[in-house]
Amino acid sequence: MTATRVPGLPVIEDGQLISTNPATGEEAGRVPVADEKAVIAAVERAHEAALWWQGLGWEGRKVRLLRWRSLLVERIQELAELTHREAGKPVTDGIIEITAAVEHLDWAAKNAKRVLGPRRVRTRLLLAEHSGHLEYQPYGVVGVIGPWNYPIVTPIGPISGALAAGNAIVFKPSEYTPVVGQWLADSFAEVVPEHPVLQTVHGLGDVGGALCRAGVNKVSFTGSTATGKKVMAACAENLVPVVIEAGGKDALIVDADADVTAAAEAAVWGSMTNAGQTCIGIERVYAVAPVYDRFVDAVVEKAGRLRTGEEIGPITMPKQLEIIRDHIEDALAKGGRAVLGGAEAVQAPYVAPTVLVDVPEDSSEIREETFGPTLTITKVRDADEAVQKANDTPYGLGGAVFGKRNGIRIARRLRSGMVAVNGTLTFVGMGNLPFGGVGESGFGRIHGEDGLREFARPKAITVRRARSLLPAMTFERTPAQVQQIVKALRLLYGRKP
């Protein structure tokens, strides 16, 4: 007899990973679970496929990646509805997520040759008789470990960059959204049927660990900081390089000359979209005193119009509900006030929008990643205090600033990988900008030129093109020639700038 299933909680039965809707418990689909042997076999197949994929050259890969992009656009409704069934997020949110994924796929395909292709570099004095050349070569096989909260755009970031650079992919989707991950791989196979360039392996955390040890040449991971450290440890056994995009506790600063209505709208979107289950979501706001009251009122008014089950979907991971409740209760116990929602907002599988004020800085609601539709708003005297408080965190993923005169100046002072000025989360939609964090939020980049270079090794080549006038790197050099080198150095570099 089958045990009662917890909605949203993945279970393994008869070698199958079964995924269910977190709101209804309805089965979204099932996929085969991979054991260690199966993971190793997938990586071995990927190494063979990578040679063929690299052999297509820049143009061949570009054509196929753009076909995949177009296929995603053609089936955008189908994929959005599948994401709704499996992760619970509203279909409209799924459509926006796919739109961002299409942007990154399009940009990577069209720009890989320009960013990574062979080029000449300027010659320097010591080897003036040689020409310099630089090119970027693919790693071979990249393992991608994806998250559940954005199961489309987040893995497509590293997948698109790595594929455009010439790598094959073995993709381990989250056990909470394996069906969406399999859909991505299957759709890619429709446009690239010749070889298994993009494969999936499914299962729980042990499958991710096996992937790190299975002979991949690089790993890109998105998930919690704690799991990211485990991935790093597994990869360290074989010196496999990693890209880590981990958690965040992003802050929004509202300066005195901000458009308060626009800032409130952006704060509600940044904190409540995807039910707050966003690594770059706004969890803290620091509003300067002159606009604080108006901003709080505007946020409460806008957030109060949102309805669970409609704009606010279910919490995908059942265990996250307790974390959200604990954070809210801790904030209230330490003197904070709920101006919207509160502890009673947690009604499984949903959490209603919650806005907290007067929350002390040592509260878990301020210090730890909540990952729910909650927002703390703190009054500060000026932007300097706002920056100091915003940076007082081990995380450093994204952030936002609202202000007219000093918005960009404030943004530069935030300790984070990305900042949106007069908007929130907007940087994720620009395919030509790098995405990644600092500190406990990880390191390495996906998206943009930096994201492409993340999945290719730089290779330097020198070519002799003439006889050496000042031979330096040879045992045949004479004392007189060494003196000539010294004279040249003094002539060119001896003067102080």
Per DSSP, 308 falls in state B
What is the three-state SS of 4-21?
CCCCCCCEEECCEEEEEC
Ordered strands of the 168-172 beta sheet: 198-200, 168-172, 141-145, 218-222, 242-245, 442-443
- By the 8 A CB rule, do 485 and 472 touch? yes
What sign does the dihedral 332-338-344-347 (CA atoms) show? negative
DSSP state of 403: -
- Establish whether the linkage from the previous residue to 497 is cis, with ω within 30° of 0: no
Active site annotation includes 235? no
Rounded Cα gap, residues 95 and 79, in angstroms: 8
For CA atoms 393, 416, 297, 382, the dihedral sign is positive
Give whole-number Cα distances, 369 to 10, 146, 276, 314, 363, in Å.
Answer: 23, 19, 10, 18, 11
Alpha helices in 414-478 (DSSP H): 448-453
For 423, the enclosing helix (H) or strand (E) is none
Residue that the structure tokens 């300067």 belong to: 288
- Looking at 380-447, list the stretches that DSSP marks H as alpha helix, in order from N- to C-terminal side: 383-390, 407-413
* Residue type (1 letter), 174: S
- Residue 487 is inside which H or E element, if any? helix 479-493
d(CA 400, CA 302): 19
Give the pair of three-digit tokens for residue 191.
Answer: 């446009």
Judged on CB neighbours under 10 Å (0-12, 13-18, 19+), 26 is exposed
Which entry of 86, 212, 235, 279 is annotated as an active-site residue? Answer: 279
Q: Measured between alpha carbons, how far is 142 from 460 in angstroms, rounded to an integer?
A: 22
H-run or E-run covering 221: strand 218-222
Alpha helix positions (H), 346-426: 364-367, 383-390, 407-413
CB atoms within 10 A of CB 470: 17
Q: Which of 245, 365, 440, 449 is catalytic?
A: 245
Q: Which residue has the tokens 């907002």?
A: 345
Residue 245 annotated in active site: yes
User: Token digits for 303?
Assistant: 């957030």
Contact criterion met (CB below 8 Å) for 306 and 336: no
Cα distances (angstroms) measured from residue 91 to each of 82, 88, 453: 9, 9, 33
Q: Which residues are catalytic?
A: 245, 279
